[in-house]
Chains A and B, each alone.
Chain A
Amino acid sequence: MTFAASEGADNSNDGKSLRKKLLRAERRKKFEAIGLVTPLLIVMVVFYFVPIAMMLFRSIDNSQMAKILPQTSIAIQNWSGEGLPDEITYAAIVGDMKIAQADRDLAKVGRRLNFDLVGFHSLLSKSGRKIDEIKGPPYKENLIAFDKKWGNEQYWTVMERGLKNTTLLYLLAAIDLKYDENNKIVKVPEYEAIYVSIISRTVYISLSITILTLILGFPIAYFMANTTPRTRNLLMIILLLVFWTSLLVRTLSWILVLQNNGVVNNLLMFTGIITEPLDMVFNRFGVYVAMTHVLLPFMVLPLYSVMRSIPSDYVRAAQSLGAKSITAFIRVYLPQTLPGIGAGALMVFIQALGYYITPALVGGPRDQMVSYFVAFFVNERVNWSMASALGLTLLILTGSLYLIFGKRVNIANMKLG
């Protein structure tokens, strides 16, 4: 009744002016809110989102090629893709190669095209060294005289693809796909395919770690949420101790503990349980142990915070209504911890996906995850594009899992601390 009356009064008066007044009154608050968020927002955009976007762009960026071979990139646009290109294109590439050879840029082109078609690097460096010997036409014949490959249609297909401003080559390679001779996207032969299995291995290890931390973390969180403040603080310190030592130290100490003449093996041999030392490090087992240890707090803390907010009355109520302890736990307590499980699992899983140092140190060659290969391409191959393509694959994977997972657990309900 009161609502209707006030609405009526609003209409009969000038409702617009009331809204204006409200907006004016709220404006100050809005400015204050924006003012508080702006510094962080700027920092995030400048130092986080922009570099990431630039890095990710490298996975498809190919503009450098057209800069090194400018005439060729224009001339080759007239090529139908059938047969060999015309004399103008051959003339253009000879001109471009002369300049590139003088500027020492030809090797870059070679590396890049070799990624698409093995043999291109040697072709270009071989031809580049002698390119000044070609003084005039016919360029086509002269080049083919250098190397028969210049008369091979496939090399020109790769060249044409390689001179475009963007390329899908790296992204395709990151999921074990490539272009065939007919410019079609196909699977790479089985002996070359590695990335899909690396990605699925990464997901598998991350999932295993998530489940392990949940199994270990749930009882700890429950105990912490339901014990005396004294015990709780002690447990919290033990748990957070993980954060106070460097990741490297923690990982290396696991090597000391788990190695063949390490503490665990010595103890087991001393007690006579085993006679030969067990292989516990530089294999999958070591990765699981070390990563579970490092990521455990990220599972326990959200779980603990959710569990603390569940009054003991719920379980009591369930029991008073006739439920056994186990039924009360499963039907009343567990569902209420789901936001915590969701948040914890998400944090552990996403962090595990990107883990690099720990598997690199305590894992064997078959336990390396995607980030290892990202580092490999950056540090050893100096192939930023491939590193970036792998990174993008990982990001897309994480994002889509987050969306699927988020729908199931209702992200809005999640508690992160």
Chain B
Amino acid sequence: MSDKDFHVRFKNVQKSYDGKQLVVKDLNLDIEKGKFVTMLGPSGSGKTTCLMMLAGFESTTHGEIILNGRPINKIPPHKRGIGMVFQNYALFPHMSVGENLAFPLEVRKIAKPEIEDMVKKALDMVQMGDFIDRYPGQLSGGQKQRIALSRALVFNPELVLMDEPLGALDKQLREQMQYEIKHIHEQLGVSVVYVTHDQAEALTMSDQIAVFNDGVIQQLASPADLYERPENSFIAQFIGENNQLRGTIEKVNKNIANVKLENGENVSALMVDVKDKGEVTLLSIRPERIIINPKTTKNSQALEGKVLELIYLGDHIRCRMMVSGNDQFIVKIPNSSTHELLKVGEKISLGWDKKDCRALKP
């Protein structure tokens, strides 16, 4: 596909602040029009830097960023026409809500009556129409967030960047805003590049998630793919909860490997980024995919585990077990009417579908 098919393309982008270390190493990322793409990663992984380069507040050290088929490295921020929501909202404290929203329209020299209409429409979109004369200092965190969002959208940009916009809100409000932002995105059809370190937020909102670590995108995938089919051990560990077992590949059969665990037991696993016999591998299995006392079939296998701790969490029971020398092995047992009753100290047999057990490079 050519540049024109994508809204934004990062091509071999590098960024260094001090000339010694690369904060962003060789970044390649293509964002389609109308998609909600999240940059997810631990702090210091380079995700905010990427956003700032796209917005034009940081220069690229190497490579180019292409917006609508045009390289934008030399275009100043105010000509890029990108809406942006900042982490601390950045609402101008000396202007009322209405003036804040009118600002991007005034600098574009739009006629007064038209400005009024657009401001009103943008405020109604976030249900803040009554707050037009308030000042930012008189608003709560959630209200400021809505105003910041509507200000970034009022001039009808095709691309909106959001830098951890919900970071300062409490949990309940954050979840509510997640849905609202998602709905506004669907309604307007703008492309959104969203930066967060909260994976639940990323999974809830995104069409695609780019997981950053160490200045590199580790995986770019839809939320379901990312969760169910992690491509390396960083993703497996970073996204959701995963049990990890160490072993060596004994036998390879197409894409299924036979792995010998550290305590000598044998299991089958789906090979993801490992290739050869004799390679050391990290098996990763989601806690909710583990079956207790399985009926052994062709696709599953049994392993012995000892129950160490049981935690009652209402909808499920969290069971910590000792499996193959790993005493942090977690099993989630759904609290159904027929669930297994376990006792601490009991030894049980565990199993899983071999497709759920992914063999990754450690």
Residues of A within 8 A of B (CB): 311, 313-314, 316-325, 327-328, 331-332, 335-336, 338
Contacts and interface: CB of A to CB of B under 8 A. Distances in A.
A320 B78 contact: yes
B78 A314 contact: no
Contact of B94 (A317, A320, A322, A335): A335
Contact of B90 (A314, A322, A331, A335): A314
Nearest to A334: B94
A317 B86 contact: yes
B93 A320 contact: no
Contacts of A323: 78, 103-104, 107
A51 B94 CA distance: 43
Contacts, number: 68
A390 to B, nearest CB: 40
A314 B92 contact: yes
B83 to A, nearest CB: 7
Contacts of A322: 78-79, 81, 104, 107-108, 155
A297 B79 CA distance: 38
Q: Is the interface of A mostly helix, strand, loop or mixed?
A: helix
Contacts of A321: 78, 83-84, 103-104, 107, 151-152, 155
A311 B91 CA distance: 11
Given A321-B103, A323-B107, A316 B90 contact: yes
A321 B79 CA distance: 9
Which size class do B's interface residues fall under? 20 to 34
A316 to B, nearest CB: 5
Interface string B36-67: 00000000000000000001110000000000
Contacts of A328: 78
Interface of B: 55-57, 76-84, 86-88, 90, 92-94, 103-104, 107-108, 151-152, 155, 161
B53 to A, nearest CB: 13
Interface SS of B by simple majority: loop
A340 to B, nearest CB: 13
B81 A313 contact: no
A331 B106 CA distance: 11
A338 B94 CA distance: 10
Given A311-B88, A327-B107, 18 more contacts: A313-B86, A313-B87, A313-B90, A316-B57, A316-B86, A317-B86, A317-B90, A318-B92, A318-B103, A320-B55, A320-B84, A321-B83, A321-B103, A321-B107, A322-B79, A322-B108, A323-B104, A328-B78
A306 to B, nearest CB: 12
Contacts of A325: 76, 78
A322 B78 CA distance: 4
Contacts of B103: 318, 321, 323, 331
A314 B107 CA distance: 15
A313 to B, nearest CB: 4
21 contacts: A313-B87, A313-B88, A316-B77, A317-B86, A318-B92, A320-B55, A320-B56, A320-B80, A320-B84, A321-B84, A321-B104, A321-B107, A321-B151, A322-B78, A322-B79, A322-B104, A322-B108, A323-B104, A327-B107, A335-B94, A336-B94
B78 A324 contact: yes
A126 B84 CA distance: 90
Contacts of B90: 311, 313-314, 316-317
B78 to A, nearest CB: 5
A317 B149 CA distance: 12
Nearest to A331: B103
A320 to B, nearest CB: 4
A331 B77 CA distance: 17
Nearest to A313: B90
A320 B80 CA distance: 8
A335 B103 CA distance: 14
A321 B78 CA distance: 7
A317 B87 CA distance: 11
A248 B268 CA distance: 89
A317 B84 contact: yes
Nearest to B82: A320
A360 to B, nearest CB: 42
Closest 7 CB pairs of A and B: A321-B104, A317-B90, A320-B84, A313-B90, A319-B77, A335-B94, A323-B107
A328 B76 CA distance: 13
Nearest to A333: B92
Of A323, A335, A338, which is in contact with the most chain B CB atoms at under 10 Å from its CB?
Answer: A323
A317 B108 CA distance: 15
A319 B78 contact: yes
Nearest to A338: B94
A314 B77 CA distance: 13
A135 B84 CA distance: 102
Contacts of B79: 322
Contacts of A324: 78, 107
Contact of B77 (A311, A320, A327): A320
Nearest to A312: B57
Nearest to B148: A317
Contacts of B83: 320-321
Contacts of A327: 107
A336 to B, nearest CB: 6
A328 B108 CA distance: 13
A402 B76 CA distance: 43
Nearest to B103: A321
A228 to B, nearest CB: 12
Contact of B93 (A316, A318, A319, A336): A336
A328 B77 CA distance: 12
Contacts of B155: 321-322
B33 to A, nearest CB: 20
Contacts of B161: 320
B185 to A, nearest CB: 18
B285 to A, nearest CB: 43
Contacts of B152: 320-321
A311 B81 CA distance: 22
A324 B108 CA distance: 10
B195 to A, nearest CB: 14
Contacts of B86: 313, 316-317
A340 B308 CA distance: 63
B191 to A, nearest CB: 15
A332 B82 CA distance: 19
Contacts of B82: 320
Nearest to B94: A335
A323 B88 CA distance: 19
